[in-house]
Chains A and B, each alone.
Chain A
Amino acid sequence: MIREMKIEVSKTLFTQEGSRRLEFDLQIKAGELVGIFGASGSGKTTLLRMIAGLAAPDEGSIVVDGCTWFDSIRHINLSAESRCVGFVFQDHNLFPNMTVEGNLRFSLRHGFPDIIEEVLQVLGLSELRARKPSQLSGGQSQRVALARTLVNQPHLLLLDEPFSSLDWSLRWRLQNDLLDWHRRFGCTTLLVSHDLLELTRITSRIIHLGETVLNADELDEAAVLYAKMSQNIRSQEHSFSYSGVGKSKDLTYS
């Protein structure tokens, strides 16, 4: 398990509205489930890609448990293959030529095939094991994408809008699956979403990317709503902290 992760990166983003600077400074502790919130084009996905090694920051460093993954001054950039993170992409990216089980087997980094059965069972995919991705619904594909990542029991899990294409009930179920898994393995997790309600429900901390800062009322509304709705989620007492540009707030609701 990751004990500590320090990210201090900046990158110029090129969007339709022009270029803007993404600056991010965050320290994550072991087993945290952190939400990254922001509007489209705020750099949420780019941030995850930089952590995973799929994109290089312009400047800064990423240090995980004392090991430097990226350092612009020392010209260190550990390859994506070596970082051993789990990444669930927004568009799933299942391998179309492989079955559900084939996707999981191919994903396994180390030889413990028993975990495949366990993950298939936990995520309710046992009956779909022989299907190809083209034969799956959006929700099923999403579960396979999550399963494919979980078979490796990653130390760091990066989730890029994993539930965005799902309907409400399926989203709810998969959020529960994710929380169950997180409770069980305590895997440090970064969850990107533009849905504040989702983040307040399942994360313990929300980082806000972007220029606008949410006001306390908006946060209160989201948190109270979920505290009421999610009686069996996380705990009876639902707490999280929020940090945006120039503003930080810790909230606790019961």
Chain B
Amino acid sequence: MDWQPFLLSVKLATLATGLLLPLMILAAWWISFGGPWKVAIRALLTLPMVLPPTVMGFYLLTALSPTSFVGGFIERVFSLRLVFSFPGMLIATLIISIPFLLNPLLSGFESLPRSLTEAARILGKNRWIILGRVQLPNMIPSILTACVLTFAHALGEFGVILMIGGKIPGKTLVASMAVYDLVETMDYSGALRYSLVLTGAAFAVLASITYLERRSRRTV
């Protein structure tokens, strides 16, 4: 069995989760302060979760292609073609993963009693100290949930990254696409092996995160 698609899937999911987490913590924190514009911004950032993958894939393919402003600019400046490449797939994964991180984090911020923040404010602590010392340590279960949802979703993502990355073996062929390829070629036993590994990996991630989440709830 070729492990390359799995390694690529794990690399993609890990990078997407790791790169997006700090940005989404800041975004969720900012949105949690409230305000009329933030409702619209929250809805906009949640769109990738409800739009069909083909629509998202089409938007991204158009935006990242060398003939577009963004894709053309990146190709000229960094000599990097985003379509049918790993960086392009990563950008697509980052964008479609936003709601999977943002929503649990927002719930985390919103579920913290406002009085905790007020107690820290009375003690003269600024917003950054309150974020780092009070809010984030008390919403670890939400952070873990956000990470596992994003990682698991990125691991199994198919539609959008197929449109952006194609399925070039060794370059952009991830595990979910490999299953699709094997089914197309009627290699059901191969598809089953890949599917079982993907299922096992997803289960292991979910179980370990659930364990960590329970432990963090006990220690807080």
| A contact set with B: CB distance below 8 Å | 52, 54, 79-82, 84-87, 89, 91, 93, 95-97, 106-107, 109, 132, 134, 148, 152
Known: A89-B115, A93-B113, A93-B116. A80 touches B220 (CB 8 A): no
| In the complex, number of A-B residue pairs with CB atoms less than 8 Å apart | 51
Please give the distance in Å from B25's CB to the nearest CB on chain A. Answer: 16
**Besides the known contacts A91-B115, A93-B118, 16 further A-B residue pairs in the complex with CB atoms under 8 A apart:** A52-B122, A54-B122, A81-B124, A84-B124, A86-B122, A89-B115, A89-B118, A93-B113, A93-B115, A93-B119, A96-B138, A97-B137, A106-B133, A107-B123, A109-B124, A132-B219
Distance of A221 Cα from B198 Cα, bound (Å): 76
Shortest C-beta distance, B119 to chain A (Å), equals 4
Q: Which of B159-210 contact A (CB under 8 A)?
A: none
Cβ contacts under 8 Å, A95 to chain B: 116, 119-120, 133-134, 138
Q: How far is the CA of A89 from the CA of B121 in the complex (A)?
A: 13
Chain A, residue nearest B118 (CB): A54
Chain B positions within 8 Å of A91 at CB level: 115
User: In this assembly, does B126 line the interface, its C-beta being within 8 Å of a C-beta of chain A?
Assistant: yes
Closest to B140 in A: A97
Could you list which residues of chain B lie within 8 angstroms of chain A, going by C-beta atoms? 113, 115-116, 118-126, 133-134, 137-138, 219-220
Residues of the B chain whose Cβ atoms lie less than 8 Å from the Cβ of A109: 123-124
Q: Are A80 and B119 in contact (CB under 8 A)?
A: no
A82 to B220, CA, bound (A): 29
Smallest CB gap from B138: residue in A: A97
Q: How far is the CA of A195 from the CA of B53 in the complex (A)?
A: 62
Query: Chain B contacts of A52 at CB under 8 A?
Result: 122
Residues of A within 8 A of B115 (CB): 89, 91, 93
Closest to B121 in A: A80
A134 engages B220 (CB within 8 Å):
yes
Q: Would you list 15 pairs from A and B whose C-beta atoms are within 8 A, ordered by A residue?
A: A54-B122, A81-B121, A81-B124, A84-B124, A93-B115, A95-B119, A95-B120, A95-B133, A96-B220, A97-B137, A97-B138, A106-B123, A107-B123, A132-B219, A132-B220
Q: Name the B residues within 8 Å of A86 (CB-CB).
A: 122
Q: Contact between A81 and B125 (Cβ–Cβ < 8 Å)?
A: yes
Residues of A within 8 A of B116 (CB): 93, 95
Closest chain A residue to B115, Cβ basis:
A93
A158 → chain B closest CB, angstroms: 9
Q: Which chain B residues lie closer than 8 Å to A79 at the CB level?
A: 121
Question: How far is it, in angstroms, between the C-alpha of A93 and the C-alpha of B119 when the chains are bound?
Answer: 7
Cα distance A79–B127 in the bound complex, in angstroms:
12
